Structure 1
Amino acid sequence: MTKIKNMEEFAAVSGISRPTVSKYFHDPDSVRATTRARIEEALERFDYRPNIFAVNQNRKLTKNIGIVVPYLADPFFVEIARYLEQSCIAAGYRPSLFSSHGEQKLENEILDSLRSLKPAGVLLAPLGRASDRSQIEKFCENVPTILFDSNLEGLGAAFVGSDNFSFVSQTVEYMTRTGEPPSFFEMRTPANPNANKRRKAYIEVMERHGFEPHVIKIDGEGWAFEEIGRQGAARVLERQELKTNSVLCSNDRLAIGFLSACYEQGIRVGRTADCALRVASNDGHPFARFTCPSLTTAAHDYDNVAGRSVETLFELIESGGKFSNRAETLFPARLVLRESA
């Protein structure tokens, strides 16, 4: 029989969810009697004994988990925070949700506040370009922290997020296969490092297929992406700067602004013969299916990004707050075809 080294392996072979197993080891009475019996039967069957020292150490920690996102008014972060909170609660922890609202000063203040709560761990989606890297580095040295969404290289014990190349490669390949190659529509000063990775992926995939990349940069800073996209698209359309009838937006919120500008100028968007433009994007925004026309997009794997983030944090807590090496886990996007392209 293969020796089981940790709780994650035990959960996998026993067919019991990782959060439930963790909840049992922190307090056996916190799970249902039938579930407790299954876990105890599996312990005997697989001859697994947890690291009692690590479990006892972890019991001295608070049950608080901090979840920090850059902009809670963004439905993407609301959606992923919901998944994270539910996973933490299922494992017997008390999650607290914070938003830095796009401000470095507020992000730093949230980290200071979290220190005083003595959390068992923190799930942090940093601002990215606007973050104070030195403050985050100091925080991660003292508090078990997993980064998600925005990867600040080398910070946190691990990073869990989406594969930006997967997003763009799928949308570019679809659009070039079904029509004219797209221009890439983005902010001149992106708020999030994912945008830079998407632009690089766009250029690489376009060149690989023998097309000339065409990047359109619009002015605007901050997190009001819809309005920035609407104003930027209005200028692009008025000046007729598009080289083809296809546009790929860096993210869905910019695309919503782009669609608004098209409507205001009487430009019909879609994939039918009577349409002047095709528009696609990236993220899988929760409202993307309700735009007019509904938005074709490469969608985040919300379930796996959130689930793996929480699992990795529990592993970090159980290991005493340190990993021997910083791990990065990326999940591919899923192309969702709708009426806009």
Structure 2
Amino acid sequence: MSESKIKNMEDFAAVSGISRPTISKYFNDPDSVRKSTRARIEAALEKHDYRPNIYAINQNRRQTKNIGLVVPNLTDPFFAGIARTIEGMIVEAGFNPLLLSSHAGPEQELANLESLRAIKPAGVLLAPLGRASDHERVAEFAEEVPTVLFDANLEGVGEAFFGSDNDQSIELIVEYLCRTGEPPAFFEMKNPINPNAYKRRTAYVAAMERLDQEPHLIQTDGEGWDFEEIGFKGGTRLIENRLLPTNTVLCSNDRLAIGFLSAAYENGLRVGLGAGSALRVAGHDNHPFSQYTCPSLTTVSQDYDSIGARSVETLLALIESETRAKERDVTLFEGRLIMRGSA
């Protein structure tokens, strides 16, 4: 028996030559490691006369059963659907999801993170507000708690980011609209809250230039999360003042497009394909309501099944290994064109 006393699990890992995550896994459930590894650990326990603090282990085990899930706004069916999908994956993995909404406000986003910090979760899945987020304070939180970002990226924050390839998806729908009718103008908020909007703006201009078409950016006033209202008011102004440079409008997101469709209806304009249609309107995201507009909305569907699955898998791997990522993983998933009646 060794004369030296081992103070903690890190010391035991160092003297036994067995990794800290493997030892932790053994103490949580001896049958979860291979028989040969179990024998090595038990032999090392006897040799070094190490007896772990079972109370501390049990405390840690309880802590690692909670995973925070923070989204910008649960009143939006888009984020409610994403959260529901990710919640199911967390539960299936044996953890407890703690779902919080930032209600489109940076103060509430920080309050959510502080609430999670207090209960010491195993990790956090965060869809940040984006431009409105307090980048520095969110980054400080992610330094303390394993955090994976999805939907909107904050550069350099968290262990990983998984989102949509806006360059690919915007090029896909721009090419389709140019091929099937007049080239589209791009309808957007002047100061969007979500960084994806800026990426889509840039992607639209690049796609139009590659197709030797002149880009037309149409920006409307409005702040916050009431996209349908902003789209309706902006669309009404454009239609009533005959400011549209083309009969095809690509909206930065589906919720703006829903508002624009309403503005067209109120002004007696038929939206759709074929004779008698004055406008074509398309969006982006495949919002849950987009298939039920009149006409149904042509859009690009984000691959949120893959984004959710990859986000959860990555966070669970970090929790299991009890390590932090050496390099930040940024993976973008391609969108899929959904052709409907509006364009």
* TM-score between both structures, scaled by the size of structure 2: 0.83
Deviation of 1:25 (Å) = 9.1
What corresponds to 1:151 in structure 2? 153
Q: Distance in 2 between matches of 1:214 and 1:115?
A: 45
Task: Establish whether residue 311 from structure 1 lines up as the match of residue 323 from structure 2.
Answer: no
Task: Establish whether residue 285 from structure 1 lines up as the match of residue 296 from structure 2.
Answer: no
Q: Distance in 1 between matches of 2:109 and 2:323?
A: 22
What corresponds to 1:241 in structure 2? 243
What corresponds to 2:330 in structure 1? 328
Q: Is the 8 A contact 2:28 2:61 kept in 1?
A: no
The correspondence of residues 120-139 of structure 1 with structure 2, limited to 5 A, is 120-139=122-141
Deviations 1:158-200 (A, max 9, x none): 0011111122111100000000000000000101000000000
Deviation of 1:213 (Å) = 0.1
Aligned partner of residue 102 in structure 1, secondary structure: coil
Q: Is the 8 A contact 2:221 2:234 kept in 1?
A: yes
Aligned partner letter, 1:210: D
What corresponds to 2:71 in structure 1? 69
Q: 1:232 to 1:62 in 2, by over 3 A?
A: same
Q: Distance in 1 between matches of 2:26 and 2:184?
A: 52
Deviation of 1:60 (Å) = 6.2
Q: 1:185 to 1:26 in 2, by over 3 A?
A: farther
Aligned partner letter, 2:63: L
Aligned partner letter, 1:246: T
Aligned partner letter, 1:324: K
Aligned partner of residue 160 in structure 1, secondary structure: strand
Aligned partner of residue 304 in structure 1, secondary structure: helix
Q: Is the 8 A contact 1:26 1:59 kept in 2?
A: no
Q: Is the 8 A contact 2:109 2:133 kept in 1?
A: yes
What corresponds to 1:20 in structure 2? none
User: Among 202, 205, 215, which residue is 2:204 paired with?
Assistant: 202
Q: Which moved more, 1:245-254 or 1:101-110?
A: 101-110
Deviating beyond 6 angstroms after TM superposition, the runs of 4 or more aligned structure 1 residues are 24-29
What corresponds to 1:166 in structure 2? 168
Q: 1:48 to 1:256 in 2, by over 3 A?
A: farther
Q: 1:48 to 1:290 in 2, by over 3 A?
A: farther
Aligned partner letter, 1:62: T
Aligned partner letter, 2:203: A
Aligned partner of residue 189 in structure 1, secondary structure: coil
What corresponds to 1:142 in structure 2? 144
Matched residue count: 302
Q: 1:151 to 1:245 in 2, by over 3 A?
A: same
Q: Distance in 1 between matches of 2:290 and 2:267?
A: 21
Q: 1:25 to 1:72 in 2, by over 3 A?
A: farther
Higher relative contact order (CA 8 A, sep 6+): 1
The sequence identity of aligned pairs, in percent, is 57
Aligned partner of residue 283 in structure 1, secondary structure: coil
Q: Distance in 1 between matches of 2:193 and 2:232?
A: 17
What corresponds to 1:300 in structure 2? 302
Q: Is the 8 A contact 1:284 1:300 kept in 2?
A: yes
User: Among 92, 95, 101, which residue is 2:94 paired with?
Assistant: 92
| Structure 2 segments unaligned to the other structure (5+ residues) | 1-24, 42-56
Q: Distance in 1 between matches of 2:225 and 2:168?
A: 24
Q: 1:241 to 1:25 in 2, by over 3 A?
A: farther
Say which one has the larger Rg. Answer: 2
Aligned partner of residue 282 in structure 1, secondary structure: coil
